[in-house]
Homo-oligomer: A and B are copies of this chain.
């Protein structure tokens, strides 16, 4: 196991700042770009991260701590952010994500003692029994997945523009 609580938090606490540094003030051409139909632009990814902050990580973590395997995780709809009308600007979304993340890291630090709680389990509606430490590792890698997605969506815009260099640019090789 590589997971250490304080190292996981190092990534979790950086994500809002990385996103703000990347997306704040960026022009619409970059912010609205998609990889195709039914894919997310950068702003929709941020909206998804906000939803997950509200409905996924802490609710599931608290379910493990309070109910163990006696009650499955509350449902999380990965597409909720596309259905809920979020009229906030990208700047407001970035701020909302940052505020929620700060609160959730505080709760995480307050609730979880690695020695006592990492091996506790809960019931994922699809996978069955999962450990608290797996949920926490997933929270970190989920951040990295969506940072990576935003970068890939940006790069896609210049796929044709780079000409003969395309084969040497790793970010264009992955879909």
Q: B-contacting residues of A (Cβ < 8 Å)?
A: 1-4, 6-7, 10-11, 14, 17-18, 21-22, 25-27, 29-30, 124, 127, 130-131, 133-134, 137-138, 140-142, 144-145, 147-149, 151-152, 154-155, 157-158, 160-165, 169-172, 174
Contacts and interface: CB of A to CB of B under 8 A. Distances in A.
A2 B158 contact: yes
B138 A165 contact: yes
A66 to B, nearest CB: 21
B155 A144 contact: yes
A152 B143 CA distance: 11
A172 to B, nearest CB: 7
Contact of A169 (B6, B145, B151): B145
A121 to B, nearest CB: 11
